[in-house]
Structure 1
Amino acid sequence: MTTVVKAQSSADFLSLVPRMLGFVPRESIVLVPFRRGRSRGALRLDLPRDDAPIDEIAATMLGLVCRIPEADGCAIVIYAESDLPSPTLIERIEQRADACGVRVVVTLWVHGDRWGSYAQPGAVRAVASTDDLPGVPALAAGDQASGADLPPASAELRTTVAQAIEALREAIDLLRAKTPSIAGAERIDPRALAAACFLQDVPSFFDRLLSAEPDTLDPFEIATAAWALGRPSLRDIALICWLDGLDAGDVAAEAQLAWEGGDDYPAEIAMRMWGEGPQPAPDRLARALALVRTIASLAPDESRPGPMAVCGWLSWALGSSTHAGIYATKAIEIEPEHGLSEIVLSFVQAGHLPDWAFQVGNATEGVETGRTDTDDDPAAA
């Protein structure tokens, strides 16, 4: 069921914009696309640097708006803590909008506890506090970067997981031997041998983890997941499974084996990873992100880049490029030139979002990218 809240003025509209995003933006430009007078979500971008190419940035912003099906209007809100951007940026966006046949509904700015309209430069008003609105998403504390910290983990549990990963490696090495034999070898933890068996059916293993509460996972389950997410072939199977379900994970696993045997890797699977295709279930991706955040928090540093990069990809898939960039950067700090992390960062820096972020079914949710007119005009938000 869609809840429609009528914004009778720009002040009302400003109270709704952070709730569309789920946080109060900082040093940001927010674009709110409209279709036939009703908002279709919100897109947040970092404010451009003073020396940034304004024309290119304006073109990119309108390009994002135009990816919203049937978008015919757009509101613009600048959030700045230091100096407000020059009106030139707004003018360039308006010019691009006019060329694209998109009506600019209103152009506003918020600076600290004051706000105003670019159409009425002399009028400055105080930002009003707002109570919770029925049917409108709750407003989280902090800004777009808040919430990207990993969950806390005890030193004792991290040590246990590190020991489990080492035992798992020994078990896998033994099982990989051409003539595996325990004779003469150091004792292998039987729990590690059992955990290694999870990898006989990678899609089922990762699909099963989604149904568990992250803080109830066994250390050897965490160790196995961390080990697998550090290996691109297994990691990609997990991501496809979380995107599209167990059957899709099975197809990805078969494709991986065929590729290792010399076949071409299916383009449709690769393009899915690049964000093409229908919208996946957001709750499924959100559960996967919560799971992998826990795995990353418990993994030792040398095993952390894989899970951190997956946190970045899942955040990007859910429309949060700011969080995606934070996770990917942390992974690269541990392992420079980490493949998936570099891919995620390239998405963020290019302002690339998945196709499903612009689909109508996702229009009530805010999406963002880290790079890249009268006061009483009412709008339905």
Structure 2
Amino acid sequence: MNENQPIKVTATADILAYVPRTLGFQPRESLAIVTLRGTQLALTLRVDLPAESADPVDFAQAVMHYVLADAAADGALMFVYTKEVAEGAKTGTNHFAKPYMAHAQAIETEMERAGLDLRGGWLINTLGWMPFFCEEEGCCILQQHEEIRDSALNAHMVLAGYTLNDDASRSVIDPAFTGSDTAHTKIEEGAYWLNLLDPLDFTDPSISQGRAAWTTALGTVEDSITEDEACELVTYLRNRAIRDRLLADAVDATNDQETYMQILAGRYESTPDWSRVEATQNLLAKILPYTPTEDRAPLFAFLGWLSWQQGSSSIAYAYFEKALGIEPQYRLARLMKELVSRGGLPLAAMNQRTSYGEHKRKNQH
């Protein structure tokens, strides 16, 4: 595909295929919003559906915290994924009744107040899909999921490498441990010699050594890796100062302190080195099989942080939960899980020009 050719949506089934492919998993009991900039698709956002008893206005305002992150948006599309059935539809008193209608209407109202146009909404359940706000027999017809699967855009995104898992947790890589009984000891002994470091002293020998080891490993990411090499790389992640420097290096390896702090805070406005981000994800995937379960929290937190940089909040959240399942007090995972829960996104993900989605679009073939 030509790098300047945008994804074309010509039918409703196309846009319904676009959402899960962009998220990387099939949403369940979820509200998804795709922001629009004119006729251009921009950010894809997903949140859990609330309890039916949840206040619609409170929920709508929480959703708008995500939507308004796209300052360039002038419209949006809404998708409600649920197996719930509205009471009126259950009893037959209102065949057009939709679950979460009050919540959807509250979101529409909040969007109008923000100057955004809600240009469409759809209900997707286990049987099929239909327009969400329809109130006439002719348009409230349940369409089959096969139309989405067979859509031209779905075929295009499959060929372009957009994977699709059953849910966010299935997008989390967690391979079985295949290392030796001494792997944990190797990691522990290596970390013992890494003392408290000044996180801003990038010339410190330990920080320099850790960065060099990871940069070398990234350069051979297509090759095999040994257990000793994997354990050494994990060892550096056990030190907070080195770990944070490696997080920032994945985005921009500059030694400028201000840029370093901006990256960690999600305030980096330039385009991240997306190729290095992908290479780092691939390297972490290669390291995991040699890493005992009790030592995996830093790796899961790293993968979650990279997913967050890419704008994949649901996958990031799943990784942070995975890290906390191993170390409940792992600070990076706790802080990032809270940030993701509040809808926080890095600036690079909120700008179409610098986003990971734009990188993928330009590198499709």
| TM-score range for the pair, normalised by the shorter chain length | 0.7 to 0.9
User: 2:210 corresponds to which residue?
Assistant: 202
Partners of 1:26 and 1:144 within 8 A in 2: no
User: 1:273 corresponds to which residue?
Assistant: 264
Change over 3 Å in CA distance of 1:363–1:80 after alignment to 2: farther
Change over 3 Å in CA distance of 1:152–1:31 after alignment to 2: same
- Residue aligned with 1:105, SS: strand
Partners of 2:303 and 2:316 within 8 A in 1: yes
Partners of 1:81 and 1:111 within 8 A in 2: yes
Partners of 1:296 and 1:308 within 8 A in 2: no
Shift of 1:111: 0.8
Shift of 1:333: 2.5
Shift of 1:52: 3.3
User: 2:334 corresponds to which residue?
Assistant: 342
| Aligned-partner Cα distance in 2 for 1:309–1:131 | 36
Partners of 2:14 and 2:152 within 8 A in 1: no
Shift of 1:348: 2.0
Shift of 1:235: 0.5
User: 2:78 corresponds to which residue?
Assistant: 76
| Aligned-partner Cα distance in 1 for 2:350–2:168 | 19
The C-alpha deviation readout for 1:253-290, integer Å capped at 9, x for no partner, is: xxxxxxxxxxxxx6x53342121112312232122122
User: 2:245 corresponds to which residue?
Assistant: 237
Instruction: Give the residue type in structure 2 aligned to 1:125.
Output: L
Partners of 1:30 and 1:45 within 8 A in 2: yes
Q: How does 1:120-199 map to 2 (within 5 A)?
A: 120-121=134-135, 122=137, 123-127=140-144, 128=147, 129-131=149-151, 133=153, 135-136=156-157, 137=160, 138-154=162-178, 157-166=179-188, 168=190, 172=193
Change over 3 Å in CA distance of 1:238–1:90 after alignment to 2: same
Task: Work out whether 1:218 is the aligned partner of 2:240.
Answer: no
Shift of 1:80: 1.0
Runs of 4+ more than 6 Å apart: none
Change over 3 Å in CA distance of 1:113–1:215 after alignment to 2: farther
Q: How many corresponding residue pairs?
A: 324
- Residue aligned with 2:249, SS: helix
User: 2:133 corresponds to which residue?
Assistant: 119
The C-alpha deviation readout for 1:192-249, integer Å capped at 9, x for no partner, is: xxxxx9765222222222222277223222112211111111101111111102x33x
Partners of 2:348 and 2:355 within 8 A in 1: no
| Aligned-partner Cα distance in 2 for 1:362–1:152 | 35
User: 1:188 corresponds to which residue?
Assistant: none
| Aligned-partner Cα distance in 2 for 1:315–1:363 | 12
| Aligned-partner Cα distance in 1 for 2:327–2:165 | 31
Shift of 1:349: 1.6
| Aligned-partner Cα distance in 1 for 2:224–2:141 | 52
Change over 3 Å in CA distance of 1:223–1:199 after alignment to 2: farther
- List alignment gaps of at least 5 residues for structure 2: 86-97, 196-204, 359-365
Larger Rg: 1
Structure number with greater CO (CA < 8 Å, separation at least 6) is 1
| Aligned-partner Cα distance in 2 for 1:337–1:139 | 32
Q: How does 1:348-359 map to 2 (within 5 A)?
A: 348-359=340-351
| Aligned-partner Cα distance in 1 for 2:285–2:74 | 38
- Residue aligned with 1:44, SS: strand
The TM-score, its normalising length taken from structure 1, stands at 0.75
User: 1:61 corresponds to which residue?
Assistant: 63
- Residue aligned with 1:353, SS: coil
The C-alpha deviation readout for 1:15-44, integer Å capped at 9, x for no partner, is: 333333343222211111111222114222
Task: Work out whether 1:100 is the aligned partner of 2:114.
Answer: yes
User: 2:362 corresponds to which residue?
Assistant: none
| Aligned-partner Cα distance in 1 for 2:17–2:293 | 42
Instruction: Give the residue type in structure 2 aligned to 1:151.
Output: P
| Aligned-partner Cα distance in 1 for 2:287–2:22 | 30
Change over 3 Å in CA distance of 1:320–1:109 after alignment to 2: same
